[in-house]
Structures are given as C-alpha cells and as structure tokens.
Amino acid sequence: MSRKSTIWLIIVVLDVILVYFNPSTFDTGDSVLHYVEAHQAWHTPHYFMNMWSKPLFILLSSPFAALGWWGMKLFNTVCVLISAYLTQRIFEHYSLNGWWGVFLSFFAYSFFLVQSSGLTEPLFMLGLTAIVYYELKDKTALAMGILSFLPFIRSEGYVVAVIILLYLLLAKKWKFLPYVGIGTAVYGIAGLFVFNDFLWMFHQNPYSGEEIKYGSGPIFHFLEQLPYVIGLPIFVLFFLGIFRGGMLFLKGKMELKELVLLYGIAVGYIAAHSIFWAYGLFHSFGLTRVLIVIIPLVAFIAYRGLEWLLCAFHFIHSKLLIGCFIAVSVVFPFTNNKMAINWQKDVSLTSDQSLMHDANSYLIAKYLDAQPLYTNAYYYALLSGRTIDDSQQIVRMQLLQNETHELIPNALILWDSYYAPTDSEIDTTYLLERFKLNEVKRWQNKEKDMLILYEQH
C-alpha cells in the first residue's frame, strides 16, 4: 500500500469513528426531516418526486437512511470524504500539495460536522466539487451531465448553472450546452407519468412566491457569518486569496477556468444568497449552513491566500509561517471563541432534543406511542421510528391550519415551542380555542424549550 493510500485509510477510519460517536444532528430541523423522508421514502414514495425533499438526494440517500440514523450519517460521510479526495485532486491539477486541500477543508470545521446530519449539503458539495474537477480535466460532457442534476439536490443548483453557462459561453464550448438539460429532461419525463406535467419541477417550486414568513436581513449577513462556518484562520486566508485573485485577474494572469470555476462560483454563490436574503427572495431564511457546499472552493482560494502571505513575508522562513498557521488552524476550532466549535450545539444533543427523549419515553411508558400524533418536531419521528403518514402514525401539525380539518379520532397533539409556532404558525391558544383538548403532560427546561402533550376530550 502506498503512503498516500495509508494516509487516506487513517483519515477514513478516524473520520468514520468520530462521526459515528457524535450524537448531534448538526441541525435540528431540516437535518432531521430530510432523514425521516429518506428513511421512509420506499413506504411513502411521493418523496422521490418532491422538490422540497430534493428528488435526487432522496433517491441516492434512501438505501442508507433505510438502515437508520447511522446509515444517513454514513451516506453524508461518504459524500464528504469523496469531496475531500476530489479537492486534493483539484490542488494536484495545479501542481499544488493536495494534502493542503484536505487539511483546509476538514479544519473549516463545518465540513466535518455536517457529516452528522441528514442535510442535503454534503451531496450538493460532492456534486459541485465533481463538476469543477471534471471540467478542469476537460471532461466537459461528464461535468455538465452532473450539473444538470444539481438542482434536484438543492435549488442553488440553478445559481451554479447560471455561472457555468456563462463559462461555457466565454470558453466557446457551446456544443456542451445540451448536456445541461439532461437532468431536467429525465425528471421531466418522470413528471409526465406522475403529474402529467413535464415542467413540474418549476410549477411545484417550494421557494417561489412572495416571502412573508422568513423575512429578510442585511446584505452582508453571509459574508459576516462565513468565519462562523469555516473558522477565523481560514476565513482570513480566504479573504487574502480573494484579494490576490482579483489582482491576478486585473493583470490578466489568471486562466478562465480558475477564475470562473473556483473564484466565480464561490463568490457568485455567496453573492446570490446575500441578495436573496437582503430582498427576501426565494424563502431565504439566512441559514449560514448553505455556505458549507463551497468549502472545497474556499479551501483552494484560502491556499492562494497562504501563497500570497508567504510571498509578502518572504523575509520570514516559510516553514515557520506554515507551522504557525497549521498550529493556529488546528487549535482554533477547540478554543472558547464564538467562531469556533460550539460543543453544546455541534457535538451533543440540543436542549429541545433532550426534552423529546423524555416525551418519547413517557409515551412508551404510558402505552400512548401507538396512537396517531400531530407534531412538527420531527425529531420524534427519528426517535420513535414512526412514519409521517398523516393518518395512523405521525400527522403534520400544519394540517390543523385547515379550517375543515377534523382531528383524527384518538389522536394526540405534541406541541413544541419552536417548530409549531414557526413552521405551522400554530400556538397553544389556537389549539385550545379550536379543539376540545386536555393537557396531559408538559416538559420544560431552563433554556425555556417546551413540549406540551394534549389529548382530545
């Protein structure tokens, strides 16, 4: 076995072990719901053609998620590890030490933490990194074929597609434009059978329409939050790398591929999300975890920043500067800094999830776990293994917004203090005024998270 293979074997084994023993779900909302939908997809197959659920993500992750939460984490771990490997290959394409790509990616700590989730970001990151790598290797047909399916993993695929279509035009690679439509054609044909609608992915876009729930925010929000996603040391190098790249571009010393595929996608992606959030477009919630998908590109640009730093401080021995940077990058995620790892949030169960464990134990002890249960706290589905079927097991609480909806006989309602009022816009006053309910049990912690279990009169 070669030295390179040995190092990769060590990385893979350590990574899998650390991810397996991390009890966190990284994100308590979409992370859990995406897992639940992938887990039960073969029993409720409509998720395979649901744009919010992300059809390609469901298709590829469902065999893993069917094995349980550990299977979901394994799927995202595979995505992250292959992304790291492709990042190494991108560095090597430019005759750089590829291990820098691996190091910078993993110590942009969200790259590691997102493996312990059911989120779609790792698969999207893998697709994006593969597109960049294969285009750098002039395998344009394969790269554009992957690009065509990217919007079916995350909607930001359309943002990436716009940037790469511009690249194809500038590079005069017009003959590859049809490849960008392969994914839409495949899912469009499937839509003819399921919905009688070839363009169902646009007509059923969950992010269209006027934003009234999530609001908007400062245009520099994502740029300001980036160091909280990748850590301050790598953010500083990324900023220097952007500056150096801009200088090289103005001097005409940067090739088109590096300009668009690495700098252009990274900067364009951040800019697009900044605009969406500033103007309340496409139901943007200002979630900074969406930045995780560009970490391989960030790693490359950060290395360019390190190169510039070494040149600027040429009077200091390069090994000393590199050693100091590596030490700071390794130590920083473990420091008591707001931009470092949050151990209570990122590497443990959250306070509201601990409450859900108590509620699930109570339901089992009181033999109530077989009754239909309305909730929007889908971590309960992960714990209980029950299916969101809107009838016999778990019923989505937002159905109660419908004035004609009748409570399912013997159903319980598990109201939580975050997802019920946020996602379903249902508070306890609404429930008690509209339905005849008795409070069965209440759970609350010092963080003011609350769960209330109701039964019908």
- Percent helix, strand, coil in the chain, to 5, is 65, 5, 30
Residue ranges per domain, the chain?
3-341, 351-456
Least confident of 210-214, 352-356, 394-398, 427-431: 210-214
SS3 144: helix
Distance CA 134, CA 149 (A): 15
> What is the model's pTM?
0.94
State the pLDDT confidence band at 194, using cuts at 50, 70 and 90.
Answer: very high
Least confident of 209-213, 217-221, 388-392, 428-432: 209-213
Distance CA 122, CA 30 (A): 13
Using the predicted structure, report yes or no on whether residue 349 has a pLDDT greater than 80.
Answer: yes
Distance CA 150, CA 179 (A): 13
Distance CA 67, CA 284 (A): 32
Mean pLDDT, all residues of the chain = 92
Distance CA 116, CA 111 (A): 10
pLDDT value for 271 = 94
Render pLDDT for 31-76 as a digit per residue (tens, 0 to 9).
999 999 999 999 889 999 999 999 999 999 999 999 999 999 999 9
Render pLDDT for 311-343 as a digit per residue (tens, 0 to 9).
888 788 888 988 999 999 999 999 988 998 888
Distance CA 293, CA 283 (A): 19
Give start and end residues of each alpha helix (H) in 179-336. Answer: 182-194, 200-203, 221-230, 232-250, 256-257, 265-278, 295-312, 318-331
Counting beta carbons within 10 angstroms of the beta carbon of residue 124, is it exposed (0 to 12), middle (13 to 18) or buried (19 or more)?
buried
Torsion from C-alpha of 302, 304, 308, 311, nearest 10 degrees: 120
Using the predicted structure, report yes or no on whether residue 210 has a pLDDT greater than 60.
Answer: no
Distance CA 218, CA 279 (A): 9
Task: Give the residue, 15 or 212, on which the prediction is more confident.
Answer: 15
**Count of beta carbons in the 10 Å neighbourhood of residue 235:** 20
State the pLDDT confidence band at 348, using cuts at 50, 70 and 90.
Answer: confident
Q: Kind of pairing, strands 450-456 and 437-444? A: antiparallel
Whats the size of the chain, residue-wise?
457
**Residue written as tokens 């699930």?**
360
Sign of CA dihedral 445, 214, 55, 203: positive
The backbone torsions φ and ψ at residue 72, rounded to the nearest 5 degrees and listed phi first, read: -65, -45
